């Protein structure tokens, strides 16, 4: 696989070339808002739905029918002030797929009828989100560290529902202008000929629009809140979903980040069974099915937080919390062992290597790095740093940044079933 | 398409070539019947090995539901040689030392274990699979905490209303067939497992002649066969390994119903239909009929129910099982309707689907599904996962016939399929009500 990233005028470009590929994946992202409030969030979510709901010459049904007949897919999603359009197609169908993409993103109509429909369906989906315990546990923790006007702040479903009703067609049309004119980050995965063709087509679409304002990633520092326990009752659930975490004053460029992320992987590598938390809390103590740790919301200029996510049954929640805190304190105080340092150097290397077995995973990896503000050379340098940091550096980073005294625990689920245990489990 | 050349040079005398279809070959270890599927993907440096035992939840006795899945968990525990070396289960060690992708899953007809790793670790992967096929030590010390994990897994699934509905739907839909329980089993059965029950199941089914080992990736055939022969040849087969009897499910007479009530705000209507096993034409037709109804924002039921505000979401599930099974449409209701009204409306809409509508929509759904297949074969891990379902259903070479099967579906096929699926003596209906 041959990977390149470049910047040209209004485009940040990632190219992932696999000569044998017969499929093409494209991600196209624009940062449309640095600020946040419920209306802004509601507008962006509605925009993602309505972008695919009709153009000057095609109805929503016709767009979907054309996509099916091509065997192609175009989806739009919203995350943290960014609108991303994901396109996938067989290489043989990429030309008509790009023509359709051009129509969709250049000439959406945002009709009143479609806006009414989209509002109704979004409100119904948000009603369902009120029972998403895992989502609530994460959002509660996230919002402890992230300011209410920050694009990374997560508003609760009821607040968004109230805002959705107020969004107008004119506001969506204005957002569309912003989407077209902002810098685009585009990553393409496919064979050489496919990449060339797609890049030319995207440049052609973009040349009619130029940046309204230069986009720079705002600097945002997270400040540590006091240690606390946050609870959200969702009666219908069987298990309690938990997010543990504390603020992390590191950005992508921080020299200590690689060492800290290495140490966090030893504690709870995301996925699989290698982390200490999986060995102890799951395997030895049988308290949960999965327990993992990672950093969240960090980018080139923004600090974020570290998080452990898991779930426990109400009867085990006290033991689960005690065990998890014990492991956090242990690694904070005593650090990782030499054997862990050696093993995880190999584990992290293998993880990167296995990603490249899949074109889709590699394309996704490149795009996500570009969105964080990290080009491919920077990413490779970061990986090298990860593989060469010493045991001492890892332990210093854990001592400095994994602070048990700042721990916040966020829980959502059938809280009432474990009320007494929760009252005494986090003191 | 299939060919069995007589004078082919197999780089290991321990194997016989069974067949080659396109770029996948099947070999059999002469000593004990272990089957090997091999596909070479050059220049990636990555290999996926996947061993699939032809035993699953459909082979369990009453009162022991979920035992196949419980045993799957235990195969990550130490073997006799691991204990001698005072080490943890070798599979876990493999991940903890090298960082391989590893996992396992159990389904109705199979139990599957896989590793994805750098090619230099091939020998170790094969050694682990051979060792844990026969030598896992099933003691209470290892078993009891793992049973708690499985109960935790059960509770995780059971908290999902759709899973709770699925448990009830399969139990209600089947009077006789062993697909009448979910793979994880009933909580009460899980609580009653013993190491003796697991040992009996393990001794009987975990045998080389009941397994298929897939090797997909950047490793040559000679190394593949030689390593497998070196590690598996000594393992004894079970000549009388049980095969599931053919079960003719008693005739259904009228709609079967199931209801569940819990606190909360979610209300779901689940409509399940019985369909032929995978990968028959009937299985593909059922999939396409259900896609036509529910898949995508402009599918028939999405437009009639979600766009009109009567439902929040619609989706369907269908499993690639060997025998007749149920596929289910889940409709999450808004507060604008009731379960009964929704049921009447959905069945009316489906009854009124005409050939004209199918003719307009079907080509697009077929093309889209064909393209999805190409994306689903993006890595060695995904190829092995897909091949697994065909292998468990009895015919891995059908992996290459997906395009053919999909392209063969006609408008009358779908019309007839819809008419035969959504009739009273085929339906099982579940309601999930919140209070």
Chain A touched by B405 (CB under 8 Å): no
Q: Among A70, A124, A357, whose Cβ lies nearest the Cβ of B44?
A: A357
**Closest to B121 in 3D by CA, of A349, A332, A165:** A349
The pLDDT of residue B249: 87
Reported as a single tens digit per residue, the pLDDT across B32-65 is 999 999 999 999 999 999 999 999 999 998 899 9
- The CA distance from B281 to B285, in Å, is 6
| Cβ neighbours of residue B54 closer than 8 Å, sequence gap 6 or more | B109, B110, B205, B210, B211, B212, B392
From chain B, the residues in CB contact with A70 under 8 A are 367, 371
Mean pLDDT of chain A: 94
Q: How many CB atoms lie within 10 A of CB A208?
A: 9
Higher pLDDT, B87 or A170: A170
Q: What is the DSSP string of A225-293?
A: PPPEEEEEE-TT-SSEEEEEEEEE---TT-TTHHHHHHHHHHHH-SSSS-SHHIIIIIIIT---S-EEE
Q: Among A131, A273, A350, whose Cβ lies nearest the Cβ of B265?
A: A131
User: Which string of b and e fits B319-348 if b means at least 16 CB within 10 Å?
Assistant: bbbbbbbbbbbbbbbbeebebeebbebbbe
The pLDDT of residue A286: 87
For residue A292, the distance in angstroms to the closest alpha carbon of chain B comes to 15
Reported as a single tens digit per residue, the pLDDT across A249-266 is 999 999 999 999 999 999
Q: Do B99 and A124 touch (CB under 8 A)?
A: no
Q: Do B371 and A360 touch (CB under 8 A)?
A: no
Check pLDDT > 80 for residue A215.
Answer: no
Token pair for A284 = 């030895």
pTM over 0.90: yes
From chain B, the residues in CB contact with A128 under 8 A are 266, 312-313, 332
Token pair for B74 = 């235990």
From chain A, the residues in CB contact with B117 under 8 A are 350, 354
Give the pairing of strands A82-90 and A73-79.
antiparallel
Mean pLDDT of chain B: 94
What is the average pLDDT across A87-97? Answer: 97
Backbone angles phi, psi at B182, to 5 degrees: -75, 160
Token pair for A94 = 């990429």
What is the average pLDDT across B147-176? Answer: 92
Q: Among A236, A313, A359, whose Cβ lies nearest the Cβ of B155?
A: A313
For residue B369, the distance in angstroms to the closest alpha carbon of chain A comes to 7
Contact between residue A105 and residue A32 where contact means Cβ atoms under 8 Å apart: no
Check pLDDT > 60 for residue A149.
Answer: yes
For residue A336, the distance in angstroms to the closest alpha carbon of chain B comes to 14
For residue A253, the distance in angstroms to the closest alpha carbon of chain B comes to 26
**Closest to A275 in 3D by CA, of A319, A331, A236, A313:** A331
Interface of B with A in 11-70 (CB under 8 A): 44-46
A414 confidence band (pLDDT: 50, 70, 90): very high
Directed axis angle between helix B281-294 and helix B355-375, to 10°?
110
Reported as a single tens digit per residue, the pLDDT across B361-412 is 999 999 999 999 999 999 999 999 999 999 999 999 999 999 999 999 999 9
- The CA distance from B223 to B230, in Å, is 10
From chain B, the residues in CB contact with A125 under 8 A are 312-313
Q: Do B99 and A351 touch (CB under 8 A)?
A: yes
Between chain A and chain B, the number of residue pairs with CB atoms below 8 A apart is: 177
Mutate to test the interface with B, among A19, A21, A71, A270 (most CBs of B within 10 A): A71
The pLDDT of residue B155: 87
Residue matched to tokens 């001492």: A392
The pLDDT of residue B152: 84
What is the average pLDDT across A41-53? Answer: 96
For residue A406, the distance in angstroms to the closest alpha carbon of chain B comes to 29
Chain A touched by B297 (CB under 8 Å): yes
Q: Do B148 and A287 touch (CB under 8 A)?
A: yes
Q: Could you give the ipTM of this predicted complex?
A: 0.91
Reported as a single tens digit per residue, the pLDDT across A219-260 is 677 777 889 999 999 988 889 999 999 999 999 999 999 999
Q: Nearest residue on chain A to B261, judged by CA atoms?
A: A236
**Closest to B278 in 3D by CA, of B391, B111, B416:** B391
What is the average pLDDT across B112-117? Answer: 98
- The CA distance from A340 to A333, in Å, is 15
Token pair for A71 = 């065997």
- The CA distance from B81 to B70, in Å, is 22
Reported as a single tens digit per residue, the pLDDT across B270-290 is 999 999 999 999 999 999 999
The pLDDT of residue B7: 59
Give the pairing of strands A291-296 and A304-312.
antiparallel
Directed axis angle between helix B67-74 and helix B140-158, to 10°?
120
Token pair for A102 = 């051009």
Token pair for A101 = 């993409």
Q: Do A237 and B148 touch (CB under 8 A)?
A: no
Residue B261, judged by CB atoms within 10 A of its CB (0-12, 13-18, 19+), counts as exposed
A214 confidence band (pLDDT: 50, 70, 90): low
């Amino acid at each position: 696989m041959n990977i390149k990233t470049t910047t040209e005028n209004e485009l940040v470009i990632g190219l992932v070339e696999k000569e044998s590929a017969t499929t093409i994946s494209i991600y196209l992202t624009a940062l449309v808002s640095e600020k946040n409030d419920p209306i802004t969030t509601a507008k962006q979510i509605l925009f993602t739905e309505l972008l695919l709901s009709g153009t000057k010459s095609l109805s929503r049904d016709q767009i979907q029918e054309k996509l099916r007949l091509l065997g192609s897919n175009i989806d739009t999603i919203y995350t943290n002030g960014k609108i991303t359009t994901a396109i996938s197609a067989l290489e043989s169908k990429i030309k008509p797929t790009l023509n359709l993409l051009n129509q969709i993103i250049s000439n959406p109509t945002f009709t009143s009828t479609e806006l009414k429909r989209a509002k109704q369906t979004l409100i119904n989906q948000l009603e369902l989100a009120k029972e998403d315990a895992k989502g609530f546990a994460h959002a509660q923790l996230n919002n402890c560290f992230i300011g209410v006007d920050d694009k990374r702040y997560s508003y609760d479903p009821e607040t968004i529902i109230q805002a959705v009703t107020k969004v107008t067609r004119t506001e969506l049309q204005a957002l569309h202008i912003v989407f077209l004119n902002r810098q685009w980050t585009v990553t393409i995965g496919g064979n050489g000929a496919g990449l060339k063709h797609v890049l030319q087509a995207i440049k052609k679409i973009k040349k009619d629009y130029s940046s309204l304002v230069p986009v720079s990633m705002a600097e945002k520092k997270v400040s540590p809140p006091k240690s606390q326990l946050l609870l959200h009752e969702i009666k219908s659930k069987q298990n309690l979903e938990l997010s543990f975490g504390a603020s992390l004053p590191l950005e992508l460029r921080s020299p200590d980040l690689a060492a800290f992320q290495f140490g966090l992987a030893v504690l709870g590598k995301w996925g699989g069974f290698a982390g200490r938390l999986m060995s102890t809390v799951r395997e030895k103590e049988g308290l949960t099915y999965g327990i993992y740790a990672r950093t969240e919301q960090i980018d080139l200029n923004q600090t974020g937080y570290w998080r452990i996510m898991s779930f426990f049954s109400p009867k085990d929640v006290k033991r689960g919390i005690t065990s998890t805190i014990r492991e956090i304190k242990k690694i904070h105080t005593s650090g990782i062992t030499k054997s862990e340092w050696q093993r995880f150097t190999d584990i992290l290397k293998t993880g990167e290597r296995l990603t490249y077995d899949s074109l889709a995973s590699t394309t996704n990896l490149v795009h996500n790095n570009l969105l964080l503000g990290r080009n491919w050379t920077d990413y490779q340098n970061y990986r090298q740093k990860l593989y060469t940091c010493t045991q001492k550096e890892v332990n210093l980073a854990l001592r400095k940044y994994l602070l048990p005294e700042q721990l916040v625990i966020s829980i959502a689920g059938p809280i009432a079933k474990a009320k007494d245990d929760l009252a005494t489990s986090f003191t | 398409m299939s060919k069995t050349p007589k004078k082919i040079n197999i780089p290991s005398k321990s194997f016989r070539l069974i067949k080659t279809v396109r770029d996948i070959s099947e070999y059999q270890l002469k000593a004990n019947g272990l089957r090997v599927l091999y596909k070479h993907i050059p220049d990636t440096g990555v290999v996926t090995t996947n061993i699939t035992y032809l035993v699953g939840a459909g082979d369990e006795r009453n009162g022991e539901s979920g035992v196949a899945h419980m045993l799957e968990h235990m195969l990550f525990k130490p073997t006799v040689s691991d204990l001698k070396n005072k080490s943890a289960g070798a599979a876990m060690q493999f991940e903890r030392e090298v960082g391989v992708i590893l996992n396992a899953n159990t389904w109705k007809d199979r139990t599957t274990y896989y590793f994805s790793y750098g090619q230099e670790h091939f020998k170790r992967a094969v050694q682990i699979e051979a060792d844990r096929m026969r030598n896992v030590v099933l003691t209470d010390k290892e078993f009891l905490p793992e049973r708690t994990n499985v109960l935790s897994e059960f509770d995780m699934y059971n908290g999902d209303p759709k899973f709770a509905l699925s448990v009830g739907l399969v139990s209600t839909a089947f009077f006789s067939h062993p697909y009448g329980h979910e793979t994880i089993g009933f909580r009460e059965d899980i609580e009653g497992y013993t190491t003796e029950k697991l040992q009996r199941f393990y001794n009987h089914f975990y045998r080389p002649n009941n397994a298929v080992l897939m090797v997909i990736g950047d490793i040559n055939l000679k190394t593949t066969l030689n390593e497998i022969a070196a590690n598996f040849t000594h393992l004894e087969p079970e000549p009388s390994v049980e095969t599931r009897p053919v079960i003719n499910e008693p005739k259904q007479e009228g709609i079967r119903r199931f209801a569940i009530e819990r606190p909360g705000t979610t209300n779901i209507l689940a409509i399940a239909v019985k369909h032929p096993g995978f990968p028959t034409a009937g299985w593909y037709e059922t999939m396409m009929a259900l896609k036509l109804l529910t898949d995508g924002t402009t599918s028939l039921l999405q437009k009639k129910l979600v766009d009109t505000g009567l439902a929040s979401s619609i989706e369907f599930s269908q499993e690639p099982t060997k025998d007749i099974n149920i596929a289910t449409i889940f409709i999450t209701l808004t507060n604008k309707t009731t379960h009964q009204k929704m049921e009447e409306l959905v069945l009316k809409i489906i009854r009124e689907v005409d050939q004209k509508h199918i003719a307009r929509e079907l080509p697009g759904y077929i093309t889209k599904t064909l393209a999805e297949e190409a994306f689903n074969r993006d890595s060695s891990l995904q190829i092995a996962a897909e091949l697994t379902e065909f292998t468990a259903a009895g015919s891995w070479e059908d992996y290459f016939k997906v395009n053919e099967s999909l392209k063969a579906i006609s408008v009358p096929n779908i019309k007839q399929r819809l008419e035969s699926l959504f009739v009273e003596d085929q339906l099982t209906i579940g309601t999930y009500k919140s209070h």
